Amino acid sequence: MDRFVITGGQRLSGRIRVEGAKNAALPLMATSLLTDEEVTLTNVASLRDIKSMRDLLEKLGVKSHIGDDRVVMQTVDPNAIEAPYDQVRVMRASICVLGPMLARRRKATVSMPGGCAFGDRPVDLHLRGLERLGAKIELRNGYITATADRLKGATVFLGGPFGSTVLGTANVMSAATLALGRTVIECAACEPEIVDLANLLSSMGAKIRGAGGPRIIIEGVEDLHGTSHRVMPDRIVAATYAIAAAITNGEIVIDDFPLDSLLAVVDRLALIGVHVHKVTPDADDACCTVRVTSERILRPTVITTQPHPGFPTDLQAQFMALLCNAVGNSVITEKIYPERFMHVAELSRMGAQLLRHGPTVVVSGGGRLVGAEVMASDLRASASLVLAGLAAEGETIVNRVYHLDRGYQRMEEVLRQLGAKIERVSDKPAEASEARGAGMRVGVPNSMQEEG
């Protein structure tokens, strides 16, 4: 099993480019189930989760070909309707095949995705939404079976106790493109990944308006055709590397930075003393070049995670690592996944002064972080430990970095390019080397992973 060995204290500098967004690419890939024609995605990152989705789609009769950052997909067997447990268990985002498969093939059987590292994440809103469109839902032996002669447009409410559901919105919106009549999704997720999905579906012939707001309206069509689409830059990756610059008092130029999608994050960074400046002021804020610098003494702040356009839960752990270096007390409250604090104990092993009370953590910053051996528990917690290791005195060993390979494309190589002292070490060097060289062919560990 691979681990990172990091020698901290190196100031990062240089220039990098943000890869395509994992959380956008997965539901985009599922749209290949909505048509018999080719769907081509570019700017696709080489990640474990992308490989997992390709494997799942192959089980569902979709052949795919890869090349550089491109994936070309086409349905060859429209009769395959079962997403088995062995495929779904490695990635919660597998649930996003349910809506497209039901809409096009009239029946879908998908394994229940189960729990994840930071708590229960039910799919009841997905199922209620599809039922509103006329689907009959049966739960049996750990599988969801959905059937419908043809879905019919309806008003669907997708609000939940912690806000709207991103994958639920993707599922219902995708299904509604082929439904009879008009569908209105109320309390839809506003995340930019939903906008990216709506743009792709529209280029396939769907009629969608309102994506990016809390009400999305879809006029159903008879069928969809193939298309080509560029995946949006990954806002979580972009912000993670901005934090890497700040936590090492470095200076990094980042290309393909999705500034429009990170306004809440940039606001918090500015309060802390981290500056994100556009290199070309007239460039499109959806994808521009920025320079990240920081003040020598960082300031504390208050962060509360919220649905977009609020502060993203997927950056809570990384900001906690950064605020360990700020002088004073910061407060972080997790409103999306209240149990998403697996990284707290591991950061404490590195000298972080953290006090958790329910969904809130008080960070007493300004002390020293020291290298230690730590264990990664999930994707974003792993990133926070790597960031802490970059700033810590001495050597940090981050175990189980296969979590990172789910969402960051060769992170150690990117950080090394910026001047970090970081190496990937494996108990099985030959196998690890082969997997890293395989790009999208990298295998998936046999443990349940979260969406993250």
How does DSSP assign 287-342, residue by residue?
SEEEEEEE-SS----EEEB-STTSB-GGGHHHHHHHHTTSSEEEEEE-SS-TT--H
Cβ distance 364 to 220 under 8 Å?
A: no
Whose tokens are 């309707």? That residue is: 81
Cβ distance 46 to 413 under 8 Å?
A: no
Angle (nearest 5°) at CA 43 between 426 and 26: 75
Structure tokens at 398: 């981050």
Rounded to whole angstroms, what are the CA distances from 228 to 37, 156, 225? Answer: 11, 29, 10
Under DSSP, the state recorded for 172 is: H
Alpha-carbon span 443 to 452, nearest angstrom: 18
CATH code at 3-19+235-441: 3.65.10.10
CATH 3.65.10.10 occupies which residues in the chain?
3-19+235-441, 22-230
Q: pLDDT per position in the chain (452 positions), as tens?
A: 899 999 999 999 999 999 999 999 999 999 999 999 999 999 999 999 999 999 999 999 999 999 889 999 999 999 999 999 988 888 888 999 999 999 999 999 999 885 444 444 478 999 999 999 999 999 999 999 999 999 999 999 999 888 899 999 999 999 999 999 999 999 999 999 999 999 999 999 999 999 999 999 999 999 999 999 999 999 999 999 999 999 999 999 999 999 999 999 999 999 999 999 999 888 999 999 999 999 999 999 999 999 999 999 999 999 999 999 999 999 999 999 888 999 999 999 999 999 999 999 999 999 999 999 999 999 999 999 999 999 999 999 999 999 999 999 999 999 999 999 999 999 765 444 444 444 433 333 333 333 46
Helix (H) or strand (E) holding 45: none
Structure tokens at 329: 């007390």
Is the pTM higher than 0.95? no
Whose tokens are 């806002």? That residue is: 235
Q: How many CB atoms lie within 10 A of CB 299?
A: 16
Q: Any residues with CB less than 8 A from the CB of 68 and at least 6 apart, and which?
A: none
Under DSSP, the state recorded for 75 is: E
Cβ distance 318 to 378 under 8 Å?
A: no
Helix (H) or strand (E) holding 379: helix 379-391
Under DSSP, the state recorded for 311 is: B
* CATH class label, 22-230: alpha beta
Among 116, 187, 190, 288, the one annotated catalytic: 116
Active site residue 190: no
